[in-house]
Structure 1
Amino acid sequence: MDTPDLTGIRIIHRAMRGDLHRLRALAEDLDAGRGRADSARAAAVARYAEDVCAAIHHHHTREDEVVWPVIERSAGAAVDLADLSDDHSELDPLLDRVRTTARAFASGRGVGDLATALRTLSELIDEHIEEEERRIFPVIEKYVPAAEWKEMEKSLRGGDPRFELAWVDRYASPDEMAHIRKLAGPILSLLLILLRPGHRRRQRIVFGS
């Protein structure tokens, strides 16, 4: 049996953690007076935080609905996903808290509550992903047929493709990007060329770089 290609999910995991770390550091710096945010920047930070939350919600929802059943059907008693599903149930209230505090920051409230919400969410995501990759990825590689995994990945689409492509562009290693380009063909390069300028402008507004 061929081994499932986990490149895509590894990149998305890295992107979720990476952008939460960046947003948390930004909010903490602003709260400590190590930076400034006028109303336009505060609104941009809030929109970016909401986009990250939307991507995380889409990812964990599709894991519950699509990925976990595939793993359980293939691995049977060799896997127990209960605690990871419990983590997912804790995520939505934390995502809602980040959204609420981000909107409050955009409307002129202080950034401290947003920094606290991002720290709590980031810590849970870090712990969850580390556990998932340590325990579940070997199970996927051992038990799930590569063809079934590839077919399943198609059903994971449905989030914001522009935002997720920007994540791939930022967080994929050169080897991973070469692998993805080989699979996707020239359309991926064209899409990245079209999307990259706008995403870089957004990054400068939000993060200053």
Structure 2
Amino acid sequence: MSPSSATGELPATERPYTHEMVVVHRVFRRESRFLPRLVRAVPDSETARATEVADFLREYTAGLHHHHELEDELVWPLLRARAEQDDELVGRMEEQHRRIDQSLAAVAEWTPLWEQGADAIAREELALALEEHRTALLEHLDDEEQLVLPLIAEHLTVAEWDLVGHRGMERLPKNKLMLALGAILEDATPQERAYFLGKAPLIGRLLWKAVGRRQYAASCRALRAPLDQGAGR
């Protein structure tokens, strides 16, 4: 038995590449910043545009729920079993998930009320709920990146960590794969882009180059056009 096996630690070369999570978190940081502005940029009574923004908001919410469900199912139980001295920190992560869920419940309450009539009162209530959600979200993302990712690198195997990503991809609708890849690559460095594209199968890389990039760019232009024109700032 090697010294690393005796102590329960993984060799450095066999540690999970947890920086993946930092890149994924950028998506939630970016979109949670855009969402209140997108809501406030919708003029009174423009219900068609309100529905477009509400649909995007629902996709964001579903993506964040799935992201946290994977951590609840596949990460926290392993850390509780293997990093008992950090049990309080894992408990903090679980409590932060609950607070984020509560913030999203308020968002879900106001979204259909605003979507139905696109009135000013519901618009502002929804925007405020989204800002409160973002405050809770950023606290969690900061803590997770600074305090929890090092624990994951120490206590999870590469296979256990990769399973989190595989399950996340399995839960994505097939027609959303290129949009999800675009969201990850949007703020990625060249090295990060190469890494994530390298993980995709050849057909996925070809599809991204042929149609995915344009599909994602068009989606962003359609959604963010009012912000690019200075509305809702």
Question: TM-score normalised by the shorter chain: which range applies?
Answer: 0.7 to 0.9
- The ranges of structure 1 where at least 4 consecutive aligned residues each deviate by more than 6 angstroms after the TM superposition are none
| Residue in 1 that maps onto 2:5 | none
TM-score normalised according to structure 1 size: 0.85
Q: Which has the larger radius of gyration?
A: 2
Determine whether 1:155 maps to 2:172.
Answer: no
Evaluate the alpha carbon distance shift between residue 100 and residue 159 of structure 1 in structure 2; reply closer, same or farther with a 3 A threshold.
farther
Determine whether 1:177 maps to 2:189.
Answer: no
Structure 1 residue matching 2:60: 3-state secondary structure: helix
Percent of aligned pairs with the same amino acid: 25
Give distance in 2, aligned partners of 1:67 and 1:171.
26
Deviates more, 1:154-163 or 1:101-110: 154-163
Deviation of 1:144 after TM superposition, in Å, equals: 2.1
Deviation of 1:114 after TM superposition, in Å, equals: 1.4
Amino acid at match of 1:8: E
Q: Which runs of 5+ in 2 are unaligned?
A: 1-10, 229-233
2:71–2:164 contact (8 Å) kept in structure 1: no
Length, aligned pairs only: 204
Determine whether 1:101 maps to 2:110.
Answer: yes
| Residue in 2 that maps onto 1:64 | 72
Determine whether 1:196 maps to 2:210.
Answer: no
1:74–1:143 contact (8 Å) kept in structure 2: yes
| Residue in 1 that maps onto 2:139 | 127
Evaluate the alpha carbon distance shift between residue 145 and residue 151 of structure 1 in structure 2; reply closer, same or farther with a 3 A threshold.
same
Deviates more, 1:111-120 or 1:184-193: 184-193
Deviation of 1:84 after TM superposition, in Å, equals: 1.0
TM-score normalised according to structure 2 size: 0.77
2:26–2:187 contact (8 Å) kept in structure 1: yes
Deviation of 1:107 after TM superposition, in Å, equals: 1.6
| Residue in 2 that maps onto 1:116 | 128
Give distance in 1, aligned partners of 2:208 and 2:105.
30
Q: CA RMSD in A?
A: 2.2
Evaluate the alpha carbon distance shift between residue 97 and residue 125 of structure 1 in structure 2; reply closer, same or farther with a 3 A threshold.
same
Evaluate the alpha carbon distance shift between residue 164 and residue 150 of structure 1 in structure 2; reply closer, same or farther with a 3 A threshold.
same
